[in-house]
Structure 1
Amino acid sequence: MIKFSKAIQAGVLACALAASAASHAADVTIGALFPMSGPNASYGDIFGSGANLAAEHINADNLLGGKLSIQYEDSQALPQQGVIGMNKLVNVQKVPYVLSAFTGVSKAISTIASRTKTVAVNGGGVGPDLAELGPYFWNIIPLANYEVRAIIPYLVNERKMKNFVLVYIDDPLGQAIRKEMESALPAAGGKLVEALSVPATAQQFGGIAARVRAANPDVIYIASYGSQQSQIVKQFRDNGIKQQFASYTAFSIPEINAQPEAAGSLYTSQNIDWNSQDPVTKRFVDDYKKKYNKMPTAYIANYYNAVRMFGLLAQQLVKKGQPVTGENLLKQRIETKTFDLVGGKVTFAENGTVTMPMQINEIDGKGGKVVSAAAK
């Protein structure tokens, strides 16, 4: 039997209790496909903490006139498991809206979302081709092309690093980042001297480390996630590699931030002012800190925003007397255009993807620090 992480367990229980307290016609369940077991389970815990807090706020505000609950299914960050979970959410639970994560999982479930007119919202995967999965697939996170384009000029111009080695996971995310780097680096005055792929299940990187040493780059960009990225960092340092590490939002997880070998690594994320007095952002930050005794991260804000956006859309449908279906949610999103979310007002492009200012962070063992804000 799959064991849910503590945050997910708490969220499921809280939402179930809230839902059982009132059997109003406006009660509604949405779904979430997160990894809750396997090497990427820590992401499920992180994503779920943001989603659960948003559901609590929606229910506390009585935004829907009934209670919102979240049904979680374990994707294990694997496309096949994601499809199994998506089919259960759509065909058994009949949810109109599903939270998705990871590029491979998101691509695998997008055809089901399109066929059944179920909205799927990604807040974790960053493959650029996630912008091309149809009207029912939305991205509430800036995609990898924006992340790569933000960090390359900074590394080349500010840090004077010209020669790059890319170590990338051999899946849709890694392949997309390689394609973007091959395009963006020459234009910025940099050079991709080596691109080394690793299988998704790999955990031993001595051979790859030898090739990196031979290439002798200025910077090593790691396009991986979960326990694999931690092992790459540790084993490279153990093999005497001292060059700068760089990555994308996946480096924001606590395991990497606490890893001594990762100190000094640079990574991109969307730019959010955690000290903003904007009511939505302030409430989110204050309540998250109160509940978890730590600051939130961009991933947590993304999934809070994904659930909050559902609440705002569903509220409008309830006011109009329309059923909360995926088709109606899509129409309402197009009509509404702009949403008050954590970080400020967010507008969606026609393809259902947001663009946001980026920032570059440095791992310092104390939760990280911003070294370049609002990078483009």
Structure 2
Amino acid sequence: MKKLFAVPSFLSVLAITVLTMQPALAADITIGGAFPMSGDNAEYGQIFSSGANMAVEHINADKMLSGKLSIVYEDSQATPAQGVVAANKLINVNKVPFMLSAFTGVSKAVAPVGARTKTVVVNGGGVGPDLATLGDYFWNTIPLANFEVKIIVPYLVKEKGLKRVALIYVDDPLGQAIVKELGTELPKVGGELVGSFSIPTTAQQFSGVAARVRDVKPDVVYFATYGNQESQLVKQLRDNGVSQPLASYSAVDIPSVQKLPEAKGIIYTSQQIDWDKQDARTKRLITDYTAKYGKKPTTYVVNYYNSVLTFGLLAAALEKAGKPVTGENLLAQRKATDKFEFAGSTVSFEADGTVKAPIQIMEIVGDGTGKLLVPGK
């Protein structure tokens, strides 16, 4: 007895073809993040990733893309060498077209990896001014430190009468950039850098530095470091008789420093976020983040939320135009986009891949929040 085999009809073949094509048309997309997920700077990684994850949730809930967006993290440990390892894995193994970075030294190390592979790298946390010079594939959604220094120096010298400034800085690209900026800006307003003292990135004992600071008799002590080192430095300056006012930049805007008793009174700069921006995106971030984490989003949360949102908006535009979501196409689409409606702001990217935002002057009050001293401009 012969077995009969059905010959597929034209419609059946067409249906099978359409079904097999659907995954390609609605492909899931993965992006990456190289953050410190362990070690002394893990607090930053937790903050950064919470904002990025919230953006992924919102993009998927809104079906902004044809497929599901996900984000995978690799631990940079906030060191350049480990950052490069993380970036290589994300780009070469996970095949991400877009990744997030943080910290000046790490970002400078991973930028060449992104440029070589035409992978977009976006920084929302590092503030070294030379992050504006790392090429087309490196973008910044945070104002860089030169803008922060330009705002705080006139305030300290002219408004507060604190003319003699001592600087304690971490010996890495961020700290070296702050030395340069203070040295340039202080003489312009009649101030003076009376001493600059470097500390290793791994240092935790600062009694010697405190003694050297006392010797130069400054009016104010500006410090430029980050993570657990910040808290230890502030404690030990006060424990070792440094009673002068303290000042710093946006890295102190983290809970471990904001709640530190010895940190009360620190004057610092940060980018201004329009929390009262009456748009659905800003309100949604505040509402959903507060519900999920039991606290309002910080500036860093907003920066990394907006970094991922940038990807979502650009990728959606590429899909609409029938173009693949590649780093090269993301760059072209960003250059073709006049402005972005971010949570808390409306921005445009400069030709060098940076966004400029108002910088405000704040004071730590000790309850986990900052007090506004001077609105952003």
Distance 1:169 1:211 in 2: 16
Quote the residue 2:175 is aligned against. 174
Distance 2:320 2:112 in 1: 30
Please state how far the C-alpha of 1:146 moved relative to its aligned partner.
Answer: 0.4
Q: Compute the RMSD of aligned alpha carbons.
A: 1.1
Residue 37 (1) aligns with residue 41 (2): no
Please state how far the C-alpha of 1:23 moved relative to its aligned partner.
Answer: 8.6
Please state how far the C-alpha of 1:338 moved relative to its aligned partner.
Answer: 0.8
Quote the residue 2:376 is aligned against. 374
Moved more, 313-322 or 22-31: 22-31
Give runs of aligned pairs for residues 161-310 of structure 1, distance below 5 A: 161-310=162-311
TM-score (norm 2): 0.92
Deviations along 1:9-45, one digit per CA (max 9) or x if unpaired, are: xxxxxxxxxxxxx996331000000000010000000
Amino acid at match of 1:182: G
Kept in 2, the 8 Å contact 1:339–1:347? The answer is yes
Amino acid at match of 1:131: A
Amino acid at match of 1:299: Y
Quote the residue 2:19 is aligned against. none
Quote the residue 1:328 is aligned against. 329
Kindly name which structure, 1 or 2, has the bigger radius of gyration based on alpha carbons.
Answer: 2
Please state how far the C-alpha of 1:184 moved relative to its aligned partner.
Answer: 0.5
Amino acid at match of 1:263: K
**Structure 1 gap segments, 5+ residues each:** 1-21
**Percent of residue pairs identical:** 61
Please state how far the C-alpha of 1:215 moved relative to its aligned partner.
Answer: 1.0
* Alignment length (residue pairs): 354
Distance 2:46 2:120 in 1: 22
Kept in 2, the 8 Å contact 1:50–1:303? The answer is yes
**Structure 2 gap segments, 5+ residues each:** 1-22
Distance 1:28 1:358 in 2: 34
Distance 1:347 1:24 in 2: 30
Please state how far the C-alpha of 1:296 moved relative to its aligned partner.
Answer: 1.2
Quote the residue 2:340 is aligned against. 339
Distance 2:187 2:346 in 1: 34
Please state how far the C-alpha of 1:278 moved relative to its aligned partner.
Answer: 2.4
Distance 1:95 1:336 in 2: 22
Structure 1 residues 24 and 56, CA, compared in 2 at 3 Å: closer, same or farther? farther
Distance 1:31 1:71 in 2: 5
Quote the residue 1:26 is aligned against. 27
Please state how far the C-alpha of 1:292 moved relative to its aligned partner.
Answer: 1.1
TM-score (norm 1): 0.93
Kept in 1, the 8 Å contact 2:51–2:301? The answer is yes
3-state SS, counterpart of residue 374 of structure 1: coil
Please state how far the C-alpha of 1:279 moved relative to its aligned partner.
Answer: 2.1
Amino acid at match of 1:148: V
Kept in 2, the 8 Å contact 1:169–1:223? The answer is yes
Please state how far the C-alpha of 1:117 moved relative to its aligned partner.
Answer: 0.2
3-state SS, counterpart of residue 95 of structure 2: coil
Q: Which runs of 4+ in 1 moved over 2 A?
A: 22-26
Distance 1:274 1:244 in 2: 29
Deviations along 1:86-118, one digit per CA (max 9) or x if unpaired, are: 000111110000000000100001111000000
Distance 1:267 1:292 in 2: 25
Quote the residue 1:97 is aligned against. 98
Kept in 2, the 8 Å contact 1:164–1:190? The answer is yes
Please state how far the C-alpha of 1:341 moved relative to its aligned partner.
Answer: 0.2
3-state SS, counterpart of residue 142 of structure 1: coil
Distance 1:112 1:182 in 2: 32
Kept in 1, the 8 Å contact 2:274–2:345? The answer is no
Deviations along 1:144-189, one digit per CA (max 9) or x if unpaired, are: 0001111111111211111100100000000001001000110021
Amino acid at match of 1:229: E
Kept in 2, the 8 Å contact 1:26–1:318? The answer is no
Distance 1:111 1:47 in 2: 22
